[in-house]
Chains A and B, each alone.
Chain A
């Protein structure tokens, strides 16, 4: 296009200087917001993760379900499990279901472990709208406090196969 002037190394004019300064301060603010929220905010991405083989994860989940089952969902036959407040709870993702259904108490803290035993899935809690990626081989430990009562669905929001849209789970909060 145009040929640059021979000496283009010239100082910024006052407006340019002002804009670059303002923009840079804004960028610093954007960066700072994340650590600030880490300390002050109540919603942070869980940082606790661990590696676990799918077969091992399945065993842990089975044990958890055996220990705390309080009923079965009529339409799906999936067990409804009520973990103790403050304790560990487990959710297993596989093509194309979430297992089991959790029953939680409002205002209590739960350490919810999430992992997949086949492909990648997306944990999307609705209508609260909280979304996490779920990988096989990796356990996620989310310390969650439900702040509302009701039935919540877990939508799978990572494409996981041709029946991906049928993969819906549930969390009940009382």
Chain B
């Protein structure tokens, strides 16, 4: 392995032009320059996750009213920092790592311009550093949304802009890599589905990051005093054209990771490539409309505008997610049935590799993302129902299920497999890794549900003291609120412990000097099978169909009960 610069030709291409090694798992060429970039971005991501996690614990213990740890200023400050470090830094660094991995290692291809990629990395590091500096020194107590006319120091806007520019360059490089790989004939036929999904994520990333620049560049000028007026409604629209699709990059990347994990741990593939690809196209076309669901109760936009946009033109992006929510488990079911686990509707599920961290994270991530995140998101994103939920804790309750229980957990699961594939180190403490996945999932479920319980009773997000102890006008709060906030606090402690475990396992594994032996590296983990049936017929995914129907019933119940709740409040029009 790692025979540098050997003049090997591979399908007629001189491989000498870049340093490479042959991946023992896939037999594909791995560009070591690309690999270093993947590692750098992944490490930066984990550092940001650690930082954001520390802030998460502190603000959670503040919201848990019985503990009420921080003072008001630091609660607001660290909530701002948590938003930036998690939602922007951790997620985007990891996605850039995934894009580089997908456009090189998975395509047998090379990083076309490593220098540019390093430039992008440096810009992101400096940008993230500046934003954190501004926030932690009290120059940007504005939350990560920085709603105009609440003003932050120019350093904050410069930081965000530099980070976004760096990310945009990284995304650009991804496209260049894919095109050059095709042009140089490094892969033949169609793109693999997971790279196809990454292309979708990257297309969304381009218009997302451009909107981000459109929102933040005028904000910078305004903060410098060069621009006198910046319309707040206009800013909100631009900001969410960045902030919302940014979540859809996560969604898209997470779905890709789901496909990867299901393949790595069970050998599953999508039952229908056409359908899965179609679903990715729906994301690209419709998901950006979703930015409107942050403006549902804003003055300005009209009813038809709000409804058309929030429904993603008839919930076509939701349809896409429901397609993946079927295709991925169906892929697993079919793979399992082929291995002989054919008993009843759910024998395949019972015999799935539950002890494998990758499968555990796949399953937990799908459940939290779909059942909590997806259902609550569509519900509170409904024009009229949003009046019950806007700016209450139900909103972070929803997105911690999507972006944390869903995306972050899936990314953690994938990291365990990148350790042998990319870092070429053995995954240590594998049993603990599985435990880590389940406990992080359990903690985040409590966090989300706790927030939702409190939010349903009207508790605001981004609010230091919902008992209004020092306010001039007093208001009572329902007792049930404290239960919700305590669940949030307890869940946070569990999730943070599990997060610490994640960082520990990763560090212990990659700092271990011994390289993994190439023969033990495989892409798809060894599969158990029992008396494999003789039939040639492709098994069908009946079990999954039943599961998704149960899901739909739960969805309908939650959704309709919210209309009922809305019907009980004051009349308003």
Using a CB–CB distance below 8 Å, which chain A residues touch chain B? 1-6, 8-10, 12-16, 18-20, 22-24, 26-28, 30-31, 33-35, 37-38, 41-47, 49, 73, 75-76, 97, 109, 118-120, 122, 124-140, 142-148, 153, 155-170
Contacts and interface: CB of A to CB of B under 8 A. Distances in A.
B196 to A, nearest CB: 9
| Across the A-B interface, the 4 shortest Cβ-Cβ residue pairs | A153-B475, A8-B273, A157-B460, A27-B315
Main secondary structure of the interface of A (DSSP, over half): mixed
Contacts of A35: 307
Given A131-B388, A131-B392, A135-B232, A157 B296 contact: no
Interface string B477-490: 11000000000000
Among the interface residues A41, A137, A147, A157, which one has the most CB atoms of the partner chain B within 10 A? A157
Nearest to B327: A16
Nearest to A23: B322
Contact of B272 (A3, A16, A109, A164): A16
B65 to A, nearest CB: 12
Contacts of B389: 131
Given A9-B274, A30-B378, A37-B384, A132 B390 contact: yes
Nearest to B311: A31
Given A1-B263, A43-B572, A130-B570, A159 B76 contact: yes
B140 interface: no
28 contacts: A2-B192, A8-B272, A12-B272, A15-B540, A16-B326, A23-B552, A26-B322, A37-B384, A43-B384, A43-B571, A44-B384, A45-B303, A119-B150, A120-B147, A122-B390, A128-B569, A135-B232, A135-B299, A153-B474, A155-B463, A157-B391, A159-B76, A162-B72, A163-B72, A164-B76, A167-B471, A168-B472, A168-B473
Nearest to B555: A26
Given A30-B378, A41-B566, A143 B572 contact: yes
B225 interface: no
A43 B568 CA distance: 9
Given A159-B462, A169-B473, A142 B572 contact: yes
A12 B275 contact: yes
B149 A165 contact: no
A164 B192 contact: no
Contacts of B269: 2
Given A45-B386, A130-B387, A133-B297, A8 B190 contact: yes
A170 to B, nearest CB: 5
Contacts of B472: 75-76, 97, 166, 168
B323 interface: yes
B549 to A, nearest CB: 8
Nearest to A24: B319
Contact of A27 (B272, B273, B314, B571): B314
A131 B272 contact: no
Among the interface residues A5, A75, A76, A120, which one has the most CB atoms of the partner chain B within 10 A? A120
Contact of B149 (A2, A4, A136): A136
A26 B538 CA distance: 29
A73 to B, nearest CB: 8
Contact of B384 (A16, A28, A45): A45
Given A1-B194, A4-B189, A38-B303, 7 more contacts: A1-B263, A1-B523, A120-B150, A122-B460, A127-B478, A155-B460, A165-B466
B141 interface: yes
A169 B295 CA distance: 23
A167 to B, nearest CB: 7
Contacts of A122: 390-391, 460
B469 to A, nearest CB: 9
B260 interface: yes
